[in-house]
Structure 1
Amino acid sequence: MKQQSIERVRLWDGHRDLGVVTLAWRGDEILEVRAEPEGTAHDDELSIIPGLVDTHVHLDGHAGDEPPGWHSNWSLVTPPEELVFHIAANAQKAMRAGVTTLRELGGDERQLAVSRVFEQGIQVGPRLVVHCQVGMTAGHGDLFIPPQYPHRRPVADSPDECRKLVRTWARKGAHGIKIHVSGGVLSQGDKVGWRNQTVDEIRTTIDEAHALGMPVAAHSHSQPTAKLALEEGVDSIEHGTGLDAELWPVAVERNLPVAPTLLINDRLADGTIPVGDEAREKAVAVVAERDANFGGAADAGVRFVLGTDANGVMVQFGEQLDETRRMRDVFSWSDERTLIAATSDAAAAVGLGERVGTLAPGFGADFVLLRGRPWQRIEDLRADAIVAVVSRGRVVRGEIPIAAPVLAAGDSAGQTPASPVSAAEHVAAPQ
């Protein structure tokens, strides 16, 4: 496995601008980030940032160019052997857009299988963290499936059932657990304000997950359920609509990550995504409450991280870049603070802060080469600015340009630079 490098390029490491450096890596490990002398000639248009981390996705949607609508029965009639290809394809779409780490928050055996295949290098793919659900009959997670349909995901309706389901997911290799403490927008016949599960059920689920070393992410769209989730010790809040001034100090003290999922709710509320009246009315109410709370929450220091709820239909895999720009505007953050929330801080939120989200020796080789400086101007974080994406040390999009050699006095000018490394070359040949 040969060492590779990008010479004389501006680099933002997930925390700060390091100036012009040479970045060297071998396989999936960064070997060196070497500062170049001030005044070193370089391409001033290009820069490197870490691959983005989306802390909240759902990968089991149709991966084709024209997916069926959210209300389609496609996922119910498609066999799991076929669905895994769509899960992998959606993850790879995100990866090629510069999102090199994903956290699936509605996983089961299928997403876990894809995660292992990527991790083992059998297929080229991003890092995939999978949380599996523990929810109740007629809860948010259960109401996406028509009542009469017999093939349903497992549910848990007592503390003992919750404990057993957590253990079942642990046996299957889950990385974490997802719970619903409120109802949701798209679940049919549901109400956003509905409490999901009893306090004892929630407490038992969290206790067992933590006992088995698994973090717990909590879906919440109301103030009482967000308060309950905080009191019971969840590890992240998803959506966080009801995080009001009473809860900001608690969230800040615990440094709890919150995935705001802005674009999907904006689109549901304004009609960009065609849904039924029930879902749209719920989305309008959610966005109104969110907008009343989020500005103050950000000012108070609540830890918002990139989390989109991307599913390939309502938010595409690749629109994480748009979500990041939207975060800057909603939270009135600096461009650099915004990019931290989408890279190093999001990596820490999914338990991978010592491996990804930062470009430094010993970290994984996940990064994006692009035109512009998004830590100074977040508008530069867009698809058409990406020159290349490297995931796990492989070029998965575009090509890495090879810098011409810097000639010292008296050197011959006839040296031939190496050829650029392309995505096709890297993906075709395992390292």
Structure 2
Amino acid sequence: MPESTLSRVAIWDGTRPLGAGRLSWNGDEIIAVEAEAADETPRFAVIPGLIDTHVHLGGYAGPGEQPWGSPWSLVTPDAEKVFHIAAQAQRAMRAGVTTVRDLAGDALQLAVSRVFDDGVQIGPRVRVHGQVGMTAGHGDLFIPPHYPHRPPVADSPDECRKLVRQWARQGAHGIKIYASGGVLSMGDRVGWRNQTDEEIRTVIDEAHALAMPVAAHSHDAASARRALEAGVDSIEHGTGLVPELWPLVTGRDVPVAPTLLINDRLADGTVPVSAEAREKAAAVVAERDANFADAAQAGVRFVLGTDANGVMVRFGEQHAEVRLMARMFGWSAERALVSATSDAADAIGMGDRIGRLRPGFAADFVVVDGRPWEDASHIDVDRIVAVVSRGRLVAGSLPS
């Protein structure tokens, strides 16, 4: 494959601006990032592709909408769902999100991930975490009680260990646990304990033995403490990260996906959900708003994680989440962009391959009209000029 070059552009490498330069790549590998004299200030800039550390690809991707709670996910055959999963991922890719991590995936998401990796279809990098939850826990309560087909659950340490091993055998990249109840699960309460301490420790022990990181859903202080003390690798949502827990997070530099936009929309009624879910979301937002800004200033490591599912947050709205993070945390535009690129890559264990524009790294990058590391308003999907994923132009056109 011949080498490709993008010249006379401003380059931001995932951590800092490099000035005007030239980016060269061959297939899915960056060959060179070099300074280059420019007669005038370049209009266009290049940044690494964004990385969303918390998504759910399994929703309807067709025209129109399937409202939350519709039976689509229950009655649609798996063979058909795979196409929707791929379409959601490709939608994210074309909007400059070149890596996503699905935090409740299964064999279908894993199939799509492999198809993209093998080049059978063009798509972003898809990491998949298999879920280990309990009967009547947050993950289980998305399925109506009398519907016979449901994802596997684990109700003892031994069952937890076995389910982790089954996910490893399927090729999962990591594990997702539920340390608390959640907002959208039916008949659930945010503060309900999910899994015992021994079950959580067993999941983490077995997953780590098999080189799989563990992400923990957590919406209150008690669940966050339990997960952190057990050695979890990331906190998802993190609503209850009260000040006394900050040292537990910063001491191990545990990444936290704040999922701001989705909870705002659930709480204010932008997304129509049940009164129960809206009430729970409002309580989550109130507690989150009381803690998050100070947590960020104390060094809690927030990274881009939207909970995008194609309904409440669409694939392509990650840029709005990054802008919201900048406002809530009092961050500069550059600090916010780091959270969505190089730091997000490190958070999912891929920091040696993606999230930075460096020789030897993957050719995932976005050409934008503006300077998104200087002005957060430029972190905007409408400013995208071109997207290159795995070395291929997948959206727009490269400036000549």
Measured against aligned partners, the alpha-carbon deviations of 1:310-361 in whole angstroms (never above 9, x if no partner) come to 0000000000000000000000001100000000000110111000100010
Measured against aligned partners, the alpha-carbon deviations of 1:97-136 in whole angstroms (never above 9, x if no partner) come to 0000000000000000000000011100000110000000
> Is 1:53–1:357's contact at 8 Å kept on the other side of the alignment?
yes
Q: Which residue of 2 aligns with 1:410?
A: none
Q: Which residue of 2 aligns with 1:117?
A: 115
Superposed displacement of residue 250, structure 1: 1.3
Q: Which residue of 1 aligns with 2:303?
A: 305
User: In the alignment, residue 103 of structure 1 is paired with which amino acid?
Assistant: R
Superposed displacement of residue 401, structure 1: 2.1
Which one of the candidate residues 367, 370, 377 is aligned to 1:379?
Answer: 377
State the secondary structure of the residue aligned to 2:244: coil
Percent identity, aligned pairs only? 68
> Is 1:56–1:310's contact at 8 Å kept on the other side of the alignment?
yes
Q: Which residue of 2 aligns with 1:353?
A: 351
Q: Work out whether 1:11 is the aligned partner of 2:11.
A: yes
Matches within 5 A, 1:320-359: 320-359=318-357
Structure 2 distance, partners of 1:382, 1:15, is 19
Q: Which residue of 2 aligns with 1:370?
A: 368
Structure 2 distance, partners of 1:381, 1:340, is 12
Q: Which residue of 2 aligns with 1:295?
A: 293
State the secondary structure of the residue aligned to 1:143: helix
Larger Rg, first or second structure (1 or 2): 1
Structure 1 distance, partners of 2:156, 2:64, is 41
Structure 2 distance, partners of 1:83, 1:227, is 36
Q: How many residues align?
A: 400
User: In the alignment, residue 234 of structure 2 is paired with which amino acid?
Assistant: S
User: In the alignment, residue 175 of structure 1 is paired with which amino acid?
Assistant: H
Structure 2 distance, partners of 1:235, 1:66, is 37
Measured against aligned partners, the alpha-carbon deviations of 1:126-148 in whole angstroms (never above 9, x if no partner) come to 00110000000000000000000
Q: Which residue of 2 aligns with 1:82?
A: 80
Measured against aligned partners, the alpha-carbon deviations of 1:282-324 in whole angstroms (never above 9, x if no partner) come to 0000000000110110010000000000000000000000000
User: In the alignment, residue 17 of structure 1 is paired with which amino acid?
Assistant: P
Matches within 5 A, 1:145-294: 145-294=143-292
User: In the alignment, residue 321 of structure 1 is paired with which amino acid?
Assistant: H
Structure 1 distance, partners of 2:379, 2:119, is 28
Measured against aligned partners, the alpha-carbon deviations of 1:20-68 in whole angstroms (never above 9, x if no partner) come to 011000000000001113xx22563210000000000000000013121
* TM-score normalised by the chain length of structure 2: 0.99
Q: Which residue of 2 aligns with 1:62?
A: 60
Q: Which residue of 2 aligns with 1:395?
A: 393
Q: Which residue of 1 aligns with 2:104?
A: 106
> Is 2:20–2:42's contact at 8 Å kept on the other side of the alignment?
no
Q: Work out whether 1:28 is the aligned partner of 2:14.
A: no
Structure 2 distance, partners of 1:85, 1:32, is 36
Structure 2 distance, partners of 1:392, 1:9, is 20
Structure 1 distance, partners of 2:298, 2:344, is 19
Q: Which residue of 1 aligns with 2:130?
A: 132
Structure 1 distance, partners of 2:15, 2:333, is 12
Structure 2 distance, partners of 1:238, 1:35, is 39
User: In the alignment, residue 304 of structure 2 is paired with which amino acid?
Assistant: L
Structure 1 distance, partners of 2:399, 2:238, is 42
> Is 1:335–1:374's contact at 8 Å kept on the other side of the alignment?
yes
State the secondary structure of the residue aligned to 1:87: helix
User: In the alignment, residue 3 of structure 1 is paired with which amino acid?
Assistant: E
Structure 2 distance, partners of 1:33, 1:44, is 16
Structure 1 distance, partners of 2:128, 2:41, is 39
The 4+ residue runs of structure 1 with deviation greater than 3 A are none
* TM-score normalised by the chain length of structure 1: 0.92
Measured against aligned partners, the alpha-carbon deviations of 1:255-307 in whole angstroms (never above 9, x if no partner) come to 00000000000000011011111000000000000001101100100000000
Bigger mean CA deviation after superposition, 376-385 or 299-308:
376-385
Q: CA RMSD in A?
A: 0.7
Structure 2 distance, partners of 1:142, 1:272, is 26
Measured against aligned partners, the alpha-carbon deviations of 1:8-27 in whole angstroms (never above 9, x if no partner) come to 11000000000001100000
State the secondary structure of the residue aligned to 1:400: coil
Consecutive unaligned residues of structure 2, counting only runs of 5 or more, are: none
Structure 2 distance, partners of 1:66, 1:232, is 43
User: In the alignment, residue 345 of structure 1 is paired with which amino acid?
Assistant: D
> Is 2:306–2:318's contact at 8 Å kept on the other side of the alignment?
yes
Superposed displacement of residue 70, structure 1: 1.0
Structure 1 distance, partners of 2:178, 2:130, is 11
Q: Which residue of 1 aligns with 2:312?
A: 314
Structure 1 distance, partners of 2:95, 2:251, is 34
> Is 2:218–2:236's contact at 8 Å kept on the other side of the alignment?
yes
User: In the alignment, residue 97 of structure 2 is paired with which amino acid?
Assistant: V
Measured against aligned partners, the alpha-carbon deviations of 1:223-246 in whole angstroms (never above 9, x if no partner) come to 000000100000000000000100
Structure 2 distance, partners of 1:27, 1:91, is 21
Structure 2 distance, partners of 1:221, 1:298, is 17
> Is 2:333–2:372's contact at 8 Å kept on the other side of the alignment?
yes
State the secondary structure of the residue aligned to 1:169: helix
> Is 2:132–2:177's contact at 8 Å kept on the other side of the alignment?
yes
Q: Which residue of 2 aligns with 1:2?
A: 2
User: In the alignment, residue 44 of structure 1 is paired with which amino acid?
Assistant: P
> Is 1:240–1:259's contact at 8 Å kept on the other side of the alignment?
yes
